[in-house]
């Protein structure tokens, strides 16, 4: 293999490695965003359950 072909192959391998790192980074960001959405949903549900519990126990009058 010629020197130029070896350099092209190394360059291609570096680019592939870079794309893999970018993909992994995007994957982590998407997972974090998904977890944030789940956390917000759980917080809303907890607030709703607290309100319902208060209403059922008679703490809040209609």
Supply the pTM of this predicted model. 0.62
pLDDT band, very low/low/confident/very high, at 7 (cuts 50, 70, 90): very high
Q: Span 30-45, mean pLDDT?
A: 94
Predicted local distance difference test score (pLDDT) of residue 1: 80
Question: Residue by residue, what is the 3-state secondary structure of the chain?
Answer: CCHHHHHHHHHHHHHHHHHHHHHHHHHHHHHHHHHHHHHHHHHHHHHHHHHHHHHHHCCCCC
Q: Average pLDDT in the 29-36 region? A: 93
Q: Encoding tokens for residue 59? A: 């703490």
More confident of the two residues 25 and 60: 25
What percentage of the chain reaches a pLDDT higher than 70? Answer: 95
């Amino acid at each position: 293999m010629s020197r130029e072909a070896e350099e092209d192959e190394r360059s291609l391998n570096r680019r592939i490695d870079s794309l893999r790192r970018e993909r992994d980074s995007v994957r982590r960001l998407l997972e974090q965003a998904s977890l944030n959405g789940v956390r917000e949903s759980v917080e809303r549900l907890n607030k709703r359950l607290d309100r319902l519990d208060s209403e059922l126990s008679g703490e809040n009058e209609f």
